[in-house]
Homo-oligomer: A and B are copies of this chain.
Amino acid sequence: MPPGMNKMTNSNKKIKAGILGASGYTGAEAMRLLLRHPNVEIAFLTADRKAGQPVEEVYPHLGGYGLPDMVSVEEAGWASVDVVFCGLPHGTTQEIIASLPGSVKVVDLSADFRIEDPATYAEWYGHEHRALHLQKEAVYGLTELNRKAIASARLVACPGCYPTAALLSLLPLVSRGLIDADDLVIDAKSGVTGAGRGLKQNTLFSEAGEGLSPYSIAKHRHAPEIEQEVAKAIGRSAGDVRVNFVPHLVPMSRGELITAHVRLTAGKTVADLRAAFDAAYNGEPFIRPLGEGAIPHTQMVRGSNNCVINVFADRIPGRATVIAAIDNLVKGSSGQAVQNMNLMFGLEETLGLEQAPLFP
Residues in B with CB closer than 8 Å to A295 are: 213-215, 217
A-B contact pairs, 20 of them (CB 8 A): A25-B206, A60-B297, A60-B300, A62-B357, A63-B290, A64-B306, A183-B316, A185-B185, A189-B189, A189-B212, A197-B204, A205-B205, A206-B253, A209-B253, A210-B253, A212-B297, A217-B321, A218-B315, A245-B315, A246-B261
Cβ of A319 and Cβ of B244 under 8 Å apart?
A: yes
Query: Contacts A261-B244, A358-B358 hold; do A302 and B36 have CB atoms under 8 A apart?
Result: no
Interface of A is mostly: loop
- CA A206 to CA B205, docked complex, whole Å: 7
Query: Given A192-B204, A199-B201, A205-B207, 12 other A-B contacts at CB below 8 A?
Result: A25-B360, A32-B356, A35-B356, A36-B356, A61-B301, A209-B252, A212-B250, A212-B325, A242-B316, A242-B317, A251-B252, A302-B358
- CA A246 to CA B320, docked complex, whole Å: 11
Cβ of B358 and Cβ of A32 under 8 Å apart?
A: yes
* Cβ of A144 under 8 Å from chain B: no
- Interchain nearest-CB distance for A238 vs B (Å): 14
Cβ of B316 and Cβ of A244 under 8 Å apart?
A: yes
Closest to A323 in B: B214
Cβ of A359 and Cβ of B215 under 8 Å apart?
A: no
- CA A251 to CA B210, docked complex, whole Å: 7
Cβ of B321 and Cβ of A218 under 8 Å apart?
A: yes
Interface residues in A, total, Cβ within 8 A: 89
Cβ of B204 and Cβ of A204 under 8 Å apart?
A: yes
- Interchain nearest-CB distance for A335 vs B (Å): 12
Task: Give the 10 A-B residue pairs with the shortest CB-CB distance, closest first.
Answer: A211-B299, A206-B360, A213-B297, A199-B199, A61-B357, A187-B187, A61-B359, A192-B205, A205-B208, A253-B360
- Interchain nearest-CB distance for A49 vs B (Å): 12
**Most B CB within 10 A of own CB, among A32, A200, A300:** A300
**Most B CB within 10 A of own CB, among A60, A211, A295:** A211
- CA A158 to CA B19, docked complex, whole Å: 40
Contacting B at CB under 8 A, from A296-319, are 296-304, 306, 308, 312-317, 319
